[in-house]
Structure 1
Amino acid sequence: MTTRPDLEADCSRCFALCCVALRFDSSADFAFDKPAGEPCVNLASDLRCTIHAELRERGFSGCVAYDCQGAGQKVSQVVFGGQDWRTDPRTARWMLVVYPVVRQLHEIMAYLVESLDVVADDSLRAELEQVLAEIDALTYATPEELLKVDVGEHRSAVGPLLDRVSELAREPIPSSSYRNADRAGADLRGADLRRHDLSGACLIRTDLRGADLRGADVRGADLRDADLRTADLRDSLFLTRSQVHAATGDATTRLSPRHERPAHWTAISPR
Structure 2
Amino acid sequence: MTDILSVLPLHLVVFACLVTLLGGFVKGAVGFAMPLIMISGMGILIDPQLVVAGIILPILVSNGWQIARSGLGPARLAVAEHWRYLLIVCVMILISAQFLTVISADTMFVILGVPVVALCIVQLLGWKPVIGPRWRRPFEWGAGLAAGTLGGLAGTWGPPTVLYLLALETPRDRQMAVQGVIYGLGSVMLFLGHLQSGVLNGHTWQLSALLVVPAMLGMVVGFRLGDRFDQALFRKVTLIVLIVAGVNLVRRGLTG
The structure whose residues are more often helix, as a share, is 2
Structure number with larger C-alpha Rg: 1
Which structure has the higher relative contact order (CA within 8 Å, separation 6+)?
2
